[in-house]
Amino acid sequence: MTTHPPQREMEQAFLQRDAAYDGVFFVGVRTTGIFCRPSCPARKPKLDNVEYFPTAREAVFSGYRPCKRCEPLLTHGERPEWLARLLEHVDRTPEERLTDADVRGFGIDPARVRRYFMKHYGMTFHAYCRSRRMGLALQRIRRGDDLDDVILGHGYESHSGFRDAFVRTFGQPPGASRDAGCAVASWIESPIGPLVAAATENGVCLLEFTDRRMLEAQFTTLRRLFSRTVVPGENEHLASLRAELGRYFAGDLRVFSTPLVYPGTPFQTRVWEQLLHIPYGETRSYEDIAVAIGHPKAVRAVGAANGMNRLAIVIPCHRVVDKDGQLGGYGGGLWRKRLLLGLEQGEGILSVNG
């Protein structure tokens, strides 16, 4: 369930144009029908005329359109300054076990960090750091590094403490993990909200909007399909995907080339492969897809397979519409489907609102 800070805290952040709260909540102005970031430079309305939303999606669903000055749907890949500092520190010293006191030492409120990570990453900051340490430890174990060096190098003082944490993460002890694998996950900012991506050594296996209700189920499916734990990290496939998404949203990329991995039932994979054949800027109906895969009466089953697609945008399920041309459904929200189709049809990413 999505939550936002207490109202007094949001009011203060909004009045002070505190950019640290950008992405944590959004402000809808009843008198104009516009919604903004907390840091919006526009003249502030009376507080009686505003309401607060935990996500841009909820603001859009409530009838507000995005402000043209602060562009709340556009993140340009930027993170709040305090978050960038924190993650840079974790990347430099992933073996360090940060406490709330350490976080305060950066001049950051641990409660703010906790809320932000839960909302955008689906885990606490401390869970993120633990997963990062475990993912790096597994990489070293697979390289054949000495187990004592791995344990001491990742902030653990004893074999038993490391072993217990490793088993909780990967489901097996370190000694049995020389050939084990994991999927690494990272978060990608986009003009229509943050995405979570995951990849194995063979390719990208997940790309979903972080506010999608099915996200937790998708992670469960990934662990089952690949028999792997998903941990924070990066690899070449995620780097390639991040670059290609940037070009896609800029209108400079029509076909993705990043390797994809999408196991499913034979029927599901046939549907997903057919989606990959829908040209950029065009749409197909569910009936069209059913005919193309040789099952003209399986329209509902096609819709179900479409909804189970784990690779948003790159396997373009947003290009499937109802027979009468209406948008139909979309797991990421119809407002995103409108924007994606508008982008591909040359209208620009913000040409369709609400």
CATH code, domain carrying 25: 3.40.10.10
For the stretch 315-334, pLDDT in tens is: 999 999 998 888 888 878 88
- Claim to verify: residue 191 and residue 325 sit in the same structural domain: yes
Kindly state the percentage of the chain with pLDDT values over 90.
Answer: 30
Is residue 190 domain-shared with residue 314, that is, in the same domain? yes
DSSP letters along 205-216, please? EEEEETT-TTHH
Say whether both 209 and 339 belong to one domain.
Answer: yes
- Of residues 60 and 335, more confidence is placed in 335
- CATH number (domain holding residue 88): 1.10.10.60
pLDDT tens profile 31-83:
988 899 999 998 889 999 999 988 776 787 676 788 888 888 765 545 677 88
Residue 215 placed within a domain: yes
**Residue 353 pLDDT exceeds 50:** no
User: Who's near 192: CB < 8 A, 6+ residues apart?
Assistant: 73, 209, 332, 336, 339, 340, 349
Res. 295: pLDDT tops 50: yes
- The half-sphere exposure of 89 on its side-chain side, counting CA atoms within 13 A, is 15
Sign of the C-alpha dihedral computed for residues 296, 297, 299 and 301 taken in this order: negative
User: What's the whole-number mean pLDDT along residues 259-283?
Assistant: 95
User: Is 317 among the residues known to form the active site?
Assistant: yes
Annotation marks residue 70 as catalytic: no
Greater confidence (223 vs 297) lies with 297
Domain-embedded: residue 354: no
Here the CATH number for the domain that contains residue 210 is 1.10.10.10
The per-residue pLDDT for 177 is: 45
Who wins on pLDDT, 127 or 7?
7
Instruction: Report yes or no on 350 lying in a domain.
Output: no
pLDDT at residue 335 tops 70:
yes
Give the range of the structural domain holding residue 97, as residue numbers without chain letter. 74-178
Average pLDDT over residues 136-156: 62
Find the catalytic residue in 36, 67, 129, 182: 36
Span 185-199, average pLDDT: 83
Do 50 and 84 sit in the same domain of this protein?
Answer: no
pLDDT of residue 291: 96
Does residue 141 sit in the same domain as residue 208?
Answer: no
Distances (CA, A) of 313 to 75, 214, 330: 17, 16, 11
CA torsion sign, 95 to 97 to 98 to 102? negative
Residue 253 lies in a domain: yes
pLDDT at residue 193 tops 90: no
Q: Please give the mean pLDDT across all residues of the chain.
A: 80
Same domain, yes or no, for 205 and 301?
yes
Q: What's the start-to-end Cα distance of the chain, in Å? A: 22
**Cα–Cα distance, 236 to 153 (Å, whole number):** 24
What pLDDT score does 350 carry? Answer: 40
Give the pLDDT confidence score for residue 318 in this predicted structure. 95
Task: Kindly state whether residues 192 and 282 are assigned to the same domain.
Answer: yes
Same domain, 196 and 255: yes
Last residue of a domain, one of 66, 86, 101: 66
Q: Which band of pLDDT confidence, cut at 50, 70 and 90, is reported for residue 354?
A: very low
Last residue of a domain, one of 66, 83, 110: 66
Q: Is the same domain home to 201 and 335? A: yes
Q: What is the pLDDT of residues 97-122, one digit of tens each?
A: 788 898 898 888 888 888 877 766 66
- Choose the catalytic residue: 67, 70, 129, 317: 317
Strand partners, 182: 229
Answer with the residue of higher pLDDT: 352 or 196: 196
Choosing from 178, 213, 240, the residue where a domain stops is 178
**What is the pLDDT, as a whole number, of residue 85?**
84
**pLDDT at 313 (0 to 100):** 96
In terms of domains, do 309 and 190 share one? yes
Residues 62 and 82 grouped into a single domain: no
Question: Does some domain include residue 285?
Answer: yes
- State whether 224 and 332 are in the same domain: yes
Across-strand partners of 209?
A: 195
Q: Is residue 353 part of a domain?
A: no
88 in any annotated domain? yes
Choose the weakest-confidence range: 41-55, 132-146, 196-210: 132-146
What is the pLDDT, as a whole number, of residue 141? 60
352 in a structural domain: no
Provide long-range contacts, Cβ within 8 A and 24+ apart, for 341-350. Answer: 341/283, 343/249, 343/251, 344/280, 344/281, 344/319, 345/281, 346/281, 349/73, 349/74, 349/191, 349/192, 349/249, 350/66, 350/71, 350/73, 350/74, 350/191
Question: What per-residue confidence (pLDDT) applies to 236?
Answer: 92
Number of domains in the chain: 3
